[in-house]
Every structure is written in C-alpha cells, then in structure tokens.
Amino acid sequence: MDPNIILPQTPSLINSLLFVLGTATVIFTIKFWLSIIQLKRLQDRPSILIIEDKIGGSLLNKIVKGKISNFPTNKNIKFGISDLENKFQFIEIPIFSIKDKSILELFDKINLKGMILSLDHSKSLEAIENEIKKIGFPLDSKPKFLVVNELDKLDLDGKSEEDIFENKEEDIELLRKKLINLST
C-alpha cells in the first residue's frame, strides 16, 4: 500500500551533513590560521615590562636608554619602561599615556607575555605589588608575573648597583643575560 502522507525533510541527510561540515570546516580553518597569526604577533610583543616611579630616574632606565643598541636582538624579548603615575614608554615603541591608570587596557594593547620587573627603589616589593594589584593588574593570573624591586634579586654575581651604573659592557651583558633568564 502506498503511503498517503510523506513528510520530506527539505535538505536531505547528505545535504544537511555537507552543509554543517562545510560551515564548520570553513569557520575553523579561518579561525585557526587567524589565531596562529595572532600568536605570532604576540611573540613579537614585549615580554618584560619594567615599572618605575620616574622615567629617567632609575638605574636600569639609564642603562637601557644608554645602551639600547646592546639590548637583546632576540625577537621574543623586548623591553619596556613604565611609569605608574602618568607615563608609559616603550623602547622602540611609541609612548602610551596611562593617566587613567587603565593598565589592564594597556596590558591588552601591548599583550605582555610574562613579567613585570620593577626597580623602584623608593618602595618595598610588597608596596609595589599592592599598588599594581590595586589598579587591577593581574599579578596572580597566568602567565605568571614577577615583580623584582631590587637589582639584588637578579643575582648579579656579586655586582653592585654602582658597578652596573658605570655602564661597563661586561656588566650590562651580565644584566642582560639575567633579564633574559628571568623572562624565559
């Protein structure tokens, strides 16, 4: 007996399958390769942010500024200097203003991979951490951020800050190596 009611499905099983799998493949392919490009761009971004209370006032800042050509050529490691109060300066990268202290927004812009290195001698490590936490910087989030307040924390093989301050090539090289070790 022939059926008197037939309820057809508009796209058949094959068409539905092709449509859904095709959409998924196209969307996934585009998204996947876009995310790879994004990751590559991330790798070119700075991995160390140096936070200081005064730009131009600290030891490391002078070293970095004075010896910019000596700093790492490794593409994955770039250095930035920031002033929590009102300025942010990147070496080789334009100056950003963070007057509103929207560090998170800034963080998103520069997309740091890992570390905060602070050489603010006038404040204790804890005070700096609290200050950073207060403005919402994700100290405890992944990737792990590290706040270093004093050069001693870098374990500069017994070198003093004064030694480094003299800008001797070998000392700067040592500091650079320590910084790279910290960031990787």
Partner 1 sequence: MFRKKNTLLKRYLKVLVYLLLINILIVFSTISIHELGHFFIGSFQKCENIKIVLLDANNLNTHTEMNCHPNTNINIIAYGSLLSVTPISFMFLFFEKRTERYYGVLMFGLNLIIATSDIQNIFKSNILYYLQFTIGLCIVIWTQISIVNDILTEDRGI
Which segment (23-31, 92-100, 111-119, 170-178) binds partner 1 by CB under 8 A? 23-31
**Rounded CA gap, 46 and 110, in Å?**
7
Within 29-68, which residues bind partner 1 (CB under 8 A)? 29, 31-32, 35-36, 39
**Rounded CA gap, 14 and 166, in Å?**
75
Four-CA torsion 173, 83, 130, 165, nearest 10 degrees: 30
**114, 115, 118, 139, 183 from 143: Cα distances, Å:** 5, 8, 17, 9, 11
Is 13 among the residues that bind partner 1 (CB under 8 A)? Answer: yes
Least distance from partner 1 to the Cβ atom of residue 90, Å = 25
ω before 143 within 30° of 0 (cis)? Answer: yes
Name the DSSP class of 144.
Answer: P
Which segment (26-34, 93-101, 123-131, 166-174) binds partner 1 by CB under 8 A? 26-34
Least distance from partner 1 to the Cβ atom of residue 34, Å = 9
Binding string to partner 1 for residues 91 to 130, with x set by CB under 8 A, is what?
Answer: ----------------------------------------
* Burial category of 62 from C-beta neighbours within 10 Å (exposed 0-12, middle 13-18, buried 19 and up): middle
**Site of tokens 């001797």:** 168
Is 6 among the residues that bind partner 1 (CB under 8 A)? Answer: yes
Q: Which of 128, 104, 112 minimizes the C-alpha distance to 53?
A: 128
Which segment (10-18, 108-116, 125-133, 159-167) binds partner 1 by CB under 8 A? 10-18
Binding string to partner 1 for residues 135 to 174, with x set by CB under 8 A, is what?
Answer: -------x--------------------------------
Least distance from partner 1 to the Cβ atom of residue 138, Å = 13
Which residues make up the interface to partner 1 (CB under 8 A)? 1, 3-14, 16-17, 19-21, 23-25, 27-29, 31-32, 35-36, 39, 142
